[in-house]
Amino acid sequence: MSTIPDFTLPHGLRVPPLGRRLRLGQIGGGRSSVVGAWHRDGARLSNHWELVAGLLSRDPARARLAAADQIIPDDRAYTDFRAMAELEAARADGMEAVCICTPNNSHYELAAHFLQAGFDVILDKPMTSKLADAEALARLAQTSHGLLALTYPYAHHAMIRQAQGLVAQGAVGTIRQVVVEYLQEWGTPATVDDAPSAAWRRDPERVGRASATGDIATHAYHLLKTVTGLGITAVRADFHRCGGARAMEDTAFIKLQMDNGAPGQIWVTQAAPGNHCGLRLRIFGERGGLEWDQEFPEQLKLRLLDRPEQIFWRGHGGGMTAAAERLVHLPRGHGEALSDAWANLYSEIGVAIAARRSGVSLASGLVQYADDAAGLDGVRFVEACADSAEANSAWTELVR
Amino acid sequence: MSTIPDFTLPHGLRVPPLGRRLRLGQIGGGRSSVVGAWHRDGARLSNHWELVAGLLSRDPARARLAAADQIIPDDRAYTDFRAMAELEAARADGMEAVCICTPNNSHYELAAHFLQAGFDVILDKPMTSKLADAEALARLAQTSHGLLALTYPYAHHAMIRQAQGLVAQGAVGTIRQVVVEYLQEWGTPATVDDAPSAAWRRDPERVGRASATGDIATHAYHLLKTVTGLGITAVRADFHRCGGARAMEDTAFIKLQMDNGAPGQIWVTQAAPGNHCGLRLRIFGERGGLEWDQEFPEQLKLRLLDRPEQIFWRGHGGGMTAAAERLVHLPRGHGEALSDAWANLYSEIGVAIAARRSGVSLASGLVQYADDAAGLDGVRFVEACADSAEANSAWTELVR
Amino acid sequence: MSTIPDFTLPHGLRVPPLGRRLRLGQIGGGRSSVVGAWHRDGARLSNHWELVAGLLSRDPARARLAAADQIIPDDRAYTDFRAMAELEAARADGMEAVCICTPNNSHYELAAHFLQAGFDVILDKPMTSKLADAEALARLAQTSHGLLALTYPYAHHAMIRQAQGLVAQGAVGTIRQVVVEYLQEWGTPATVDDAPSAAWRRDPERVGRASATGDIATHAYHLLKTVTGLGITAVRADFHRCGGARAMEDTAFIKLQMDNGAPGQIWVTQAAPGNHCGLRLRIFGERGGLEWDQEFPEQLKLRLLDRPEQIFWRGHGGGMTAAAERLVHLPRGHGEALSDAWANLYSEIGVAIAARRSGVSLASGLVQYADDAAGLDGVRFVEACADSAEANSAWTELVR
Amino acid sequence: MSTIPDFTLPHGLRVPPLGRRLRLGQIGGGRSSVVGAWHRDGARLSNHWELVAGLLSRDPARARLAAADQIIPDDRAYTDFRAMAELEAARADGMEAVCICTPNNSHYELAAHFLQAGFDVILDKPMTSKLADAEALARLAQTSHGLLALTYPYAHHAMIRQAQGLVAQGAVGTIRQVVVEYLQEWGTPATVDDAPSAAWRRDPERVGRASATGDIATHAYHLLKTVTGLGITAVRADFHRCGGARAMEDTAFIKLQMDNGAPGQIWVTQAAPGNHCGLRLRIFGERGGLEWDQEFPEQLKLRLLDRPEQIFWRGHGGGMTAAAERLVHLPRGHGEALSDAWANLYSEIGVAIAARRSGVSLASGLVQYADDAAGLDGVRFVEACADSAEANSAWTELVR
């Protein structure tokens, strides 16, 4: 285990890699932002990070107010990203990484600027609103000093690591079909799109060619690939507006062709009353099936042919793999949930950054996060879905 | 309520319509049959029927043995359906109706013969293995003395009647999308098709142009229409063999176009380890969602926007509609399950037959069963799916 | 397996032992009875019985009406039990067994009369309203030609047989504590006691010294002993009236001393809004725990230390014991519920009667039903609870 | 709303009351501690606190190592509490409050010392190991400058606030019985008591007169009182050692007399395989019942007579009370769990401290935490249980 230094242990339990917290700045995430709080909670709970600077609004008064909420002093409450990069780089205690939680169309410019300025960049998904931008950003990330990470938090639940391990061990045998759904209700009344917090999600200028697909199908796609280890070669997408007359799709049925020949499906909708964060994964193999539901993240169900159903519960022992136990923070039954997944995400990224700086090589697969390649892959998926939907739901190859 | 005679009350509680049980014969349903037992259990539990004759095997010894299981004397243990029709018609205490539980390709000949001989016919779904046969049988049923009923048992759970009532009352508002899935595991190993009880299900000669689609998607289709009251105008079907190399599809993803413009989907598979009779219905409207799971048939979940989730439990009161209460036999919490649904089915058919003979007209919608039109509709659905699958999953109109 | 004749197979699948159905009469069970219907449904669904005579009311018109509901002719719709015994004994096709579903205080006289008249007697629990009557009836049963069986239907769910088998195999190790609860809501408003169907349940003349304890704690007690194989040596009972001012207890907390030294508890109430037939069993041993809930009777949960939770689902294979599989009638996922448990009960009793008449000895434990000893044990339990409650909840030994 | 300043809003969303984080020290909570991490996670996630000093071990090397885990410098990694109090008081940036997570018998000395030294004290439950100590500490708290708070985290789940509100609104009517259980499995093998992390829990010197009762029944007791608003007047306790031969009880059945005359029960055990943090609350009133399970903390079930079951899900709207919405941090479906409850707890205490210092009076009931009176009440409950168990389970009055 000589390649696994102590600092690879999960959030909050052991001394972080550098003997101090990494200094984080945030762009986006003002008072009306939901996503911004998730990033901050994960960073805090991980104990690997401290938030030292913010560009939380372009309006100076709002920027200062939102920064004050986070105990960020006025002089580090920025309203211009170039100034932020320049001034923080100049400080001895300046921020080292930036997390970007703005609408999709700003991702490229912001991420490219901070990468080029030598910062590590933590970027909300999807990577960009345009494929060309994603390709350019991925190329840039390859040559940057800093690391580029995308935030797909659901993949950081301990039981997703457990599912990944069980599949890799062959628990279910060869995978024969996979179905992922992600259902929400917030978009049921079309009028909700008039609210500022929702408006940008249906604006092609800001989100790109797809709405719900980029917003939530990307999570489903990433989760499916993370757990199964399979690639997707082609998609066929039906876009619908089930919440009423609105600018872009709120619902998509996306049929998948997987690279082992098995079929798959992703179904997402934001117009399903009674569903809130209904991300559910079902994998069926030749010997068994696996099922996980984000709203009950502590359990993973394994059903082998001619055996009692087995439920793995997050915790130490009880059939957990070592890799999944790394992400276990609270004892079994003492619930972890979404902020714990975000904390795992920020721990993993923190460890990766520290290892990179320290010249330590981590055992393959030990520390996981979505890198630039995964980010580009996500945008290619959205583009292929949009192509398919525009082509009357024709099967469309996924460039890889 | 003058048009609702006392005998419309549910199974076992009140005197059946004719003051006696109806006399039933059965074709198919020998010792290796699963479906045959369901019919008998439903008939018995309903208290509207007694089983008096059987053609339970074409082998005389087996036919007598299986009949003896059911306390049917040797002289009414037939091996030839023509003889059965003739001899039973000649008896004063002869059977009045026949239930047919044989492979699909025999349905037309058998049903037509018994209808023409003046019997009521209760026919397992799908109606026939060929569309032309279904059309001919439906025409015949229109002019027959006897009644033709198809058996879709899941639609006879009390909570499906409740769901139907809630939709009709507008509880969820205009329906915006519907998804039904029916997942089983028995077909996971392709070798299972070698067993006689499964072999016919993958034999186009015996089942027609589709396997899992005819076997279980028909249930999903019937359930969807029963609850929503919507029609389906077109389908797009992907057929797969997820259980391995075999003669016909074990899995189908069927996209639906509903006649109010909303999309729908039926997903069925017999290669989903850990699922047994996983028939699940989800309806999303502009105001709320409904969810029902056949493996937990006592509950119906209604989720209205900005309201606590509501769970209706089968029983009297507690928000049950009068129509659903008609199907309530045991008190709430004292579980009903599949045999109770079959008993409701046999009660409904028994009441319909008795009403027909008595010249009593029943209030519209009070007594429900799938008639010849519903049977023909089911075959048209299977045919359209097969057409679509053969045409590279092209959208295919559903003739109505 | 030479001592296990073919007729020991479960309900409806094979020829009953005598090649015909046993002829049953019923006392109690008129139109307002709930329990009466359960007996009839179980008998019918079992396919081992036909109902040929009834004393369903003491009022002649009502007796005929209720009998007609069951297709019992007027001349076998009795209003006097002595006449029923005499006339049925005199018929060549007379009833062979009688099921008694009347209030507790009539049990002794009725059961004794029919036993002495040579009939088999199937008696609803509790056996009698008075201990002396129970003792006398048990003595009588020992010397009778007929068999005396008590009806504890919940013990006849297939998954209870599975739990019994797992405990016997040592799956959970030595049992360390057991908790059973049975919660209902119907008695929440005290005014419900004014209704005739409930009034007798709070009338010491008719039920004996305890109300909810005799009504539902007896089920819990019987279930606990059936599954664990342990005896109870002493009880300490607190009686309460949680539904308001009424004549007798609607709630009891009963602490148990088990004969292996482990503690136990039975908690019953009829004043728990939201509970209907909430009979739940939890067993904890040195290696694992078992849990079963009557409202979800298809599942049995086994949780072994440091292992994933296991859920056994009713069906063939999948870890089911052979003894539990005997009670499996429908395939896994095709739900069985309360009427199936009653059918198992009536099958078991039917097989026991037939074996007795045929001189066949059944393998020990193969066919299970509650006999006179179990009936007497149940009354002793009620008496001990009543003694304890009257003695300020003193620990009270249970005479065995 | 003039008495409710902005800083009463929950964790992380708005500027904390003093425009900065409160400075926290921790005693106990070294590398082998489970509880210590919970405190730190809650403090961090709340965004109201920063951890600046620690006495995490009495061994200097271990103390420094554990402090380094938390980015506490060596010079604030104490090994003597008096030195900690003195040196921190002397610093301009010294700690303002201390959280104490040590075995029970040290609570009094530590808490008294820090209170007298002018610090706020956050103390793990139970308050002390001896009643006299608790009384003395409560008296001291009344006259101290600092605030004394006890940590009962489960009471800080948003849905417990919701349950409290529903009861107060009369949703279930007058409460008629309450049952709380708290089941764990870790103590099943008696040998576990040999481990240092468990040994102190069965050592009367360190925990006082009761083990599982002080450890987990206190949570159940506090939760019951928090939600119902009822007092407990007397207890009757049975102590058992269900995990095998060990020094103190691992299991207790505690019957309660509530001050409105209704009965209650608390059942706790640490020898229930398959249970981890199985804290479950059931309240039954004259009109309805409420149920909550700590392992599924997002849901609260309300079952009113003759109404569909209602499930409240944590989030904004959907029937949530305003008081419960204050504790909502993530959107519905985006799970909160135990660390969120701890964050609520540390937010509430932080707000209370800040309000106290600022001379702001908070609206009654708005900000809730367990104060010295609640702490003393908890110890009195443990003492009464121990008295009862020693007196052969006699009913024992609870001094108030």
Selection from C19, C13, C336, C345 nearest residue B36 by Cα:
C13
Q: Which DSSP state fits D117?
A: T
* Res. C4: pLDDT tops 60: no
* Pairing status of strand D288-293 against strand D299-304: antiparallel
pLDDT digits (tens, 9 = 90+) for C125-143: 999 999 999 999 999 999 9
pLDDT digits (tens, 9 = 90+) for A21-45: 999 999 999 988 889 999 999 999 9
Task: State the Cα–Cα distance between residues D316 and B282, nearest whole angstrom.
Answer: 24
Selection from D190, A26, A266, D137 nearest residue C286 by Cα:
D190
Average pLDDT over residues A141-150: 96
In this structure, the number of other CB atoms found within 10 A of the CB of residue B363 comes to 12
pLDDT digits (tens, 9 = 90+) for B52-86: 999 999 999 999 999 998 999 999 999 999 999 99
Task: State the Cα–Cα distance between residues A197 and A207, nearest whole angstrom.
Answer: 13
Task: State the Cα–Cα distance between residues D315 and B305, nearest whole angstrom.
Answer: 13
Disruptive mutation site among B7, B277, B339 for chain C (greatest number of C CBs within 10 Å): B339
Please identify among residues 154-193 of chain A the ones whose CB lies closer than 8 Å to any CB of chain B: 172, 176-177, 179, 185, 188-189
Give B302→chain D minimum CA distance, Å.
10
Average pLDDT over residues D3-12: 43
Q: What 3-state DSSP class applies to A175?
A: strand
- pLDDT score of B358: 80
Average pLDDT over residues C289-311: 98
pLDDT classification of A12: cutoffs 50, 70, 90: very low
Contact A305 B273 (CB under 8 A): yes
Touching subunits for chain C (3+ Cβ pairs under 8 A): A, B, D
Residues of chain A with pLDDT > 70, as a percent, come to 95
Shortest CB distance from C306 goes to which of A308, A309, A318? A318
Contact C45 B40 (CB under 8 A): no
**HSE-up of B80 (CA within 13 Å, CB side)?**
4
Q: Which amino acid is at D272?
A: A
Residues of chain D with pLDDT > 90, as a percent, come to 86
Contact A319 C308 (CB under 8 A): yes
Q: Which amino acid is at B394?
A: A
Domains of chain B: 6-154 (3.40.50.720), 158-296+298-331+374-390 (3.30.360.10)
Q: Is the separation of the CB atoms in A65 and A85 below 8 Å? A: no
Shortest CB distance from B41 goes to which of C12, C20, C315? C12
Task: State the Cα–Cα distance between residues D248 and D204, nearest whole angstrom.
Answer: 8
Cα diameter, chain C: 65
Task: State the Cα–Cα distance between residues A137 and A121, nearest whole angstrom.
Answer: 11
Contact B271 A284 (CB under 8 A): yes
- pLDDT score of A2: 30
Q: Which residue of B has its CA nearest to C21?
A: B71
**ipTM for this model:** 0.95
pLDDT, greater one: A299 or A2: A299
Backbone phi and psi for residue D195, each to the nearest 5 degrees, phi listed first: -70, 140
Contact D286 C176 (CB under 8 A): no
* Res. B209: pLDDT tops 80: yes
Q: Is the separation of the CB atoms in D204 and D267 below 8 Å? A: no
Disruptive mutation site among B166, B176, B388 for chain A (greatest number of A CBs within 10 Å): B176
Shortest CB distance from D295 goes to which of A12, A34, A335? A335
Average pLDDT over residues D237-256: 97
Task: State the Cα–Cα distance between residues B116 and B261, nearest whole angstrom.
Answer: 41
Selection from C260, C253, C266, C320 nearest residue C285 by Cα:
C260
- pLDDT score of B17: 59
Average pLDDT over residues B329-345: 96
Contact D339 A336 (CB under 8 A): yes
Backbone phi and psi for residue B274, each to the nearest 5 degrees, phi listed first: 95, -5
Q: Which residue of B has its CA nearest to C32?
A: B13
Q: Is the separation of the CB atoms in D242 and C284 below 8 Å? A: yes
Disruptive mutation site among C52, C334, C342, C344 for chain B (greatest number of B CBs within 10 Å): C334
Contacts of B311 in chain A (CB under 8 A): none
In this structure, the number of other CB atoms found within 10 A of the CB of residue C361 comes to 11
Q: Is the separation of the CB atoms in B239 and B213 below 8 Å? A: yes
pLDDT digits (tens, 9 = 90+) for A269-305: 999 999 999 999 999 999 999 999 999 999 999 999 9
Q: Is the separation of the CB atoms in D373 and D138 below 8 Å? A: yes
- pLDDT score of B359: 81
pLDDT classification of A17: cutoffs 50, 70, 90: low
pLDDT digits (tens, 9 = 90+) for C170-209: 999 999 999 999 999 999 998 999 988 789 999 999 999 9
Query: B with D: how many residue pairs have Cβ under 8 Å apart?
Result: 34
Q: Which residue has the tokens 């002089």?
A: A75
pLDDT classification of B8: cutoffs 50, 70, 90: very low
Query: Which runs of E-coded beta strand occur in B168-298?
Result: 175-183, 232-240, 251-258, 263-269, 278-285, 288-293
Backbone phi and psi for residue C183, each to the nearest 5 degrees, phi listed first: -115, 135
pLDDT digits (tens, 9 = 90+) for B268-288: 999 999 999 999 999 999 999
Selection from C122, C271, C278, C133 nearest residue C211 by Cα:
C271
Contact D262 C242 (CB under 8 A): yes
- pLDDT score of A196: 81
Task: State the Cα–Cα distance between residues B323 and B325, nearest whole angstrom.
Answer: 5
Q: Which DSSP state fits D112?
A: H
Give D320→chain C minimum CA distance, Å.
20
Backbone phi and psi for residue D385, each to the nearest 5 degrees, phi listed first: -65, -45
- pLDDT score of B400: 63
Q: What is the 3 state secondary structure string of C179-214?
A: EEEEECCCCCCHHHHHCHHHHHHHCHHHHCCCCHHH
* Res. A218: pLDDT tops 70: yes
Shortest CB distance from D45 goes to which of A44, A184, A333? A44
Contacts of D275 in chain A (CB under 8 A): 333
pLDDT, greater one: A329 or A9: A329
Contact C317 A306 (CB under 8 A): yes
Contact C318 A307 (CB under 8 A): yes
Residue A61 burial by Cβ neighbours in a 10 Å radius (0-12, 13-18, 19+): exposed
Residues in chain B: 400
Please identify among residues 303-322 of chain C the ones whose CB lies closer than 8 Å to any CB of chain A: 306-313, 317-319
pLDDT digits (tens, 9 = 90+) for B235-259: 999 999 999 999 999 999 999 999 9
* Res. D177: pLDDT tops 80: yes
pLDDT digits (tens, 9 = 90+) for C204-255: 999 999 999 999 999 999 999 999 999 999 999 999 999 999 999 999 999 9
Average pLDDT over residues B10-33: 75
| pTM greater than 0.80 | yes
Contacts of A315 in chain D (CB under 8 A): 276
Q: Which residue of C has its CA nearest to D237?
A: C255
Task: State the Cα–Cα distance between residues C315 and C295, nearest whole angstrom.
Answer: 17
Q: Is the separation of the CB atoms in D83 and D63 below 8 Å? A: no
Q: Which amino acid is at B296?
A: F
* Res. B4: pLDDT tops 50: no
* Res. D9: pLDDT tops 60: no
Determine contact: A255 vs chain B, CB below 8 A.
Answer: yes
In this structure, the number of other CB atoms found within 10 A of the CB of residue B371 comes to 18
List residues bridging with A27 in a β-sheet: A55, A100
